[in-house]
Each structure stands twice: as structure tokens, then as C-alpha cells.
Amino acid sequence: MEFAWNDIDGLNGAASEEFGDWGTEIEVTQQMIQDFADLTGDHQWIHVDVERANAGPFGGPIAHGFLTLSLLPKLNPGGLTITGIKNAVNYGSDGFRFLAPVPSGSTIHARSRLVSAVEKPKGTLITTEVAVHVKGNDVPSLLYKMLVLYQG
């Protein structure tokens, strides 16, 4: 779907409860998990101690929730193209939930849906919801409501 950044009615008309197509698939490797732990200082054993994690509650190491969240740009769930913009600003989030683990070595992918568009003094605030799943799992690992302010 393609919309001008200021087409509030068109954008809201395209809002849906249904998620779009899957985006790019990414394998979440143990090396990625270790690198993220080193970058953030979060070395909790369920992420980085493979031997202990194998005997732990998830049957192996799992990705950090924030690692999964940080992969959203690379997962590129797409589905919505905004035209005529000069700038797009990360406006924050209306919440996120980590619903299921992402095991080391699993492949994840994401899809999104348009929730709403609201006119603001400095542009159009668009809310999308993104669901990140381990490939083959019905329950998403992450649900994220993303806010982006588009400026023309």
C-alpha cells in the first residue's frame, strides 16, 4: 500500500486488524546473542551460558527481548509505503510485549499492520503494530506498537 504522508483519511481507511505479508527472515545465532550481551552488558545465563541454558527452563539459550526488538529494521515487515516525506522521526512506542522466547539458532520473521494515522502540528503520526514470530510458531515472540511521525 502506498500513501502520501498527509493522506489521513486514506491511511485510516487502510487500517486493519489483519497483519500483512512476512518480511525478511533472519537466523538468530548464538554469536549474535553473545555480541548483543557484550554490547549491552546483559550477560544473564539464559542468553550466554549455553551449557547451563541447555538444562534451563527454555531447553537452550534464548535471545534477549531487546535484541529481538532491535532487529525490526532488518526484518523489514513493510507493507506500507509513505510518499512525499522529508523526514520520518521515531516517535516512540505505545507498548511492546515479549510473549514467547526466541531460541538461539531459530529463524525469525515479522509482519505488520496499520493501526491509525493522526494529524499532528508537525506531521502525521502513524501507529503500526509489528508481530515478530519464530518461523513456524503461531504465537508471536514480540508484539510492538511503533509510532513514527512523518513530515512533508
Q: What is the pLDDT of residues 98-147, one digit of tens each?
A: 999 999 999 999 999 999 999 999 999 999 999 999 999 999 999 999 99
**pLDDT beyond 90 at 65:** yes
Indicate which CATH number applies to the domain containing 122: 3.10.129.10
For residue 6, the tally of other CB atoms under 10 A from its CB is 17
88 pLDDT band, cuts 50/70/90, is very high
Give residue 77's pLDDT: 85
Residue 64 belongs to domain spanning: 2-151
**In whole angstroms, what is the distance from residue 68 CA to residue 133 CA?**
10
Number of domains in the chain: 1
1 pLDDT band, cuts 50/70/90, is confident
Q: What is the mean pLDDT of residues 59-65?
A: 98
DSSP 8-class letter at 131: E
**pLDDT beyond 90 at 76:** no
Average pLDDT, the chain: 96
User: Do 86 and 122 form a contact (C-beta atoms < 8 A)?
Assistant: no
What are the cell numbers at 53? 541454558
Beta-strand ranges (E) seen in 5-138 are 26-27, 81-83, 87-98, 107-120, 123-134
Instruction: Using the structure block, give the residue that is written with the C-alpha cell 516525506.
Output: 85
